[in-house]
């Protein structure tokens, strides 16, 4: 990872989320609220300088050769994917 690393997040009103996601951050580019899975929250705790970017802004800035990685180890990510559920946050906001 480099100085320009970004954490790519779904928008907070996406239909699905994973358990214990955080909804207290916004995209550094467009300002829309995002959801951050626990693995992303852990990454930001370790590396608070990482920019939070929504998937839509990431698509706009994607270019060939761009490196993409996971915010946590494989087991953590798989564990999160097993908790995918309807996003109830979107109905409360
Ligand atoms: Zn954005």
Q: Is residue 51 part of a domain?
A: yes
Is residue 21 within 8 Å of residue 71, measured between CB atoms? no
Asked if the structure places residue 15 within a domain, the reply is yes
Q: How many domains does the chain have?
A: 1
1: in domain: no
Tell me the two tokens of residue 11.
């928008």
Taking the CA atoms of the chain, what radius of gyration do you get in angstroms?
Answer: 13
Bridge-based pairing of strands 85-86 and 16-17 is antiparallel
CA of 80 to the centre of ligand 1 (A): 23
pLDDT exceeds 50 at position 37: yes
Cut 0.85: pTM above it:
yes
Which residues have a beta carbon within 5 Å of ligand 1, which is an ion?
27, 29-30, 54, 57
| Within-domain flag for 23 | yes
Quick check: is 44 in a domain?
yes
If you measure from the C-alpha of residue 61 to the centroid of ligand 1, how many angstroms do you get, rounded to a whole number? 10
Q: Whole-number mean pLDDT of the chain? A: 93
Let me know if residue 79 belongs to a domain: yes
Domain coverage including residue 58: 6-92
39-57 pLDDT per residue, tens: 999 999 999 999 999 999 9
């Amino acid at each position: 990872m480099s100085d320009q690393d970004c954490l790519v997040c779904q928008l907070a009103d996406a239909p699905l989320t994973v358990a214990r996601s955080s909804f207290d951050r916004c995209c550094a580019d467009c300002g829309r609220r995002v959801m951050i899975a626990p693995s992303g929250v852990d990454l930001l705790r370790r590396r608070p300088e990482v920019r939070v970017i929504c998937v839509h802004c990431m698509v706009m800035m994607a270019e060939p050769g761009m490196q993409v990685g996971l915010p946590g180890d494989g087991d953590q990510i798989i564990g999160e994917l097993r908790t995918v559920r309807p996003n109830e946050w979107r109905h409360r906001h």
